[in-house]
Amino acid sequence: MPDRYDAVIVGAGFSGLYLIKRLRDAGFSVLAVEAAPSVGGTWYWNAYPGARCDVESFDYSYSFSKELEDEWDWSERYPGQPELLRYLNHVADRFDLRRDIRFDTRVTSATFDEPANGWTVGLDNGDTLEARFFILAGGAISMPNFTAIEGRESFAGQIYHTGTWPHEPIDFTGKRVAVIGTGSSGVQTSTAIADKVAQLTVFQRTPNYTAPVLNHPLTPEALAEWRKTSGERHERSRHSRQGIPYAFPTVAALSVSAEERQEAYRNAWENSHLFALRLTYSDLMVDEAANETVSEFVRGRIRETVKDPVTAERLTPRSYPFATKRPCLGKGYYEMFNRAHVRLVDLRETPIVRITPEGIETTEGEAPFDAIVFATGFDALTGAAARIAITGRDGLTLHEAWAGGPETYLGLASAGFPNLFLVTGPGSPGPLTAMVKSIEQHVDWITDCLEHLRAQGLAAIEAEPEAQAKWVEHVQQVADGTLYPRANSWYVGANIPGKPRRFMPYLGGLGVYRAKCDAIAAAGYEGFVLSGPAALPELATERDQRGGQIGG
Ligand code: N01
């Protein structure tokens, strides 16, 4: 007999843990299936050197429990990966969440069983689970893009991907190390290992805009002040665009003098947080000329910092507007290229031909390495779902349904897949916000929805195709009103060969999105079909027979 639950959750990271907590508190039986041996999700897998969140600790922590907040002392402005992992382990212990998690196990398939109004979930150990609800909480940026470069298997040294970093210590001291990729992971890894290695070679395909990260320890006074004001700070973040407590600007960049702009950009650069430059003026992400002013400001900082003009030019992003690919925060990133043992290879001039047993061959020749780090990113937003063989109503697979790009209603559900929910899915604002605020919104909404179904004696909820089509169109329209779709970013899937190009995150902002989701729920889940009262008593009967094992 398969195990039966009200909800099976994929993943035990920030999303999965909060789902267990909320659903269990609401009286549902849940099981989270986690591929890793422990909790943490992103913060378990991305244990690469220098991994650190570029959203401030205060805004990158759960807000659902004041007790949790009061007992956890963040040590730094930007939390490092080890501290985030400790925090998530603490959350799992504090709320006794581990007993509802199956570790070291992957979900391989999920099939909707129409008469039963539930899901049969297949695991990689051959077990099956049954669940009324199937919730994809495996992360928006979690499926590593281990980019196919000929000869990778032949390399005799060590190979790593930042997104599946080993948990035992890796010592790069005195080694010749190649880092492929200059996104957030590449910038953090390179800067963290530069002091130790004998030789660091950074392989760059597209230069990024990287602002300095100004991290510092959090004093007891700062923590006390935060705890006093956190309620209001969280509330502001929940209704903001990006899930952070900073106001969206009202002044346009082109309405002020060049001197005033420079001053604003310099302040933002020096007080940096991830969104600081973007929040200087209202028009930066919608007006190309306005964006050019901030893009040029960053280019000026690169020219000022990097001594060799050829290297400076190679590091200078010109092919896309600032922040249309996610910008990076880095500690001494541009300064690093002034060091004699650090070299930049511009793959636009000298592409990689193959990986050899000794190293990497580009069109300018072969260079030997002891280790190669792939910081080549992720199959974002759809990758985690795509690795599971999901079959919905009438045999429709998610692969088929999303062949032209992901189709969701609110980023939370997809037509043809009843009782399936996504957390921070494509079509939600998640990836362009401070994730934890988005996750809490999604999980709260899903929990409320399940409680509503139970209260009404309903067994199934499914997005209506028309409502979904309108949402997909709305997401596109909002994106098309901005500069974001211009870049070949993971937001549009351009980093994965063959992935349909579609701008996936919802750019309307978290506050607007929250209001829409709430209004839809208040209107009786407008745009969803709610059905199937017949199936619930069956589950209840079975639960009674099994001595209340199935929550409800
Ligand atoms: O991945 P990325 P990431 N040959 O996709 C290059 C979050 N995050 O892991 O730009 C050569 O940004 C690729 O080049 P190009 C954050 O949301 C947050 O760094 O596609 N190069 C690019 O330079 C972030 O945005 C934090 O031309 C290849 C790099 O690899 C997201 O995760 C830290 C290549 C990939 O950059 C992903 O970041 C880390 C190839 N075949 C991550 N394929 C913080 O909070 C790809 N590249 C700080």
Listed as own residue / partner, the contacts of 19-26 with beta carbons closer than 8 Å and 24 or more positions apart are: 19/135, 19/137, 19/423, 19/443, 19/446, 19/447, 20/95, 20/97, 20/100, 20/101, 21/64, 21/95, 21/97, 22/64, 22/443, 22/444, 22/447, 23/447, 23/450, 24/100, 24/551, 26/447, 26/450, 26/451
147 lines ligand 1 (CB under 6 A): yes
| Ligand 1 nearest atom to the CA of residue 495, by list position | 20
What does the domain layout of the chain look like in residue ranges?
Answer: 3-143+379-546, 144-208+325-377, 252-322
pLDDT at 2: 67
Is-same-fold flag (3-143+379-546; 144-208+325-377)? yes
Q: Which residues lie below 8 Å from residue 127, measured CB to CB, with a gap of 6+?
A: 2, 3, 105
pLDDT band at 274 (very low <50, low <70, confident <90, very high): confident
Per-residue model confidence as pLDDT tens digits over 288-312: 999 999 999 999 999 999 999 999 9
SS3 of 77-141:
CCCEHHHHHHHHHHHHHHCCCHHHEECCCCEEEEEEECCCCEEEEEECCCCEEEEEEEEECCCCC
Reply yes or no on whether the pLDDT at 535 is more than 80: no
Per-residue model confidence as pLDDT tens digits over 359-388: 999 999 999 999 999 999 999 999 999 999
Give CA 491 to chain center in angstroms: 11
Per-residue model confidence as pLDDT tens digits over 430-462: 989 999 999 999 999 999 999 999 999 999 999
Per-residue model confidence as pLDDT tens digits over 384-401: 999 999 999 999 999 999
CATH class for the domain made up of 3-143+379-546: alpha beta
Summarize the confidence of residues 119-139 as an average pLDDT: 97
Reply yes or no on whether the pLDDT at 549 is more than 50: no
Per-residue model confidence as pLDDT tens digits over 46-81: 999 999 999 999 999 999 999 999 999 999 999 999
Q: Whose CA is nearest to atom 37 of ligand 1?
A: 377
| Ligand 1 nearest atom to the CA of residue 53, by list position | 45
What's the fold here for domain 144-208+325-377?
FAD/NAD(P)-binding domain (3.50.50)
Q: Whose CA is nearest to atom 4 of ligand 1?
A: 205
pLDDT at 540: 39
| Ligand 1 nearest atom to the CA of residue 494, by list position | 20
Q: Whose CA is nearest to atom 46 of ligand 1?
A: 376
Summarize the confidence of residues 139-156 as an average pLDDT: 94
Mutation test residue for ligand 1: of 374, 495, 504, the one with most atoms within 8 Å of CB: 495
347 lines ligand 1 (CB under 6 A): yes
Reply yes or no on whether the pLDDT at 212 is more than 90: yes
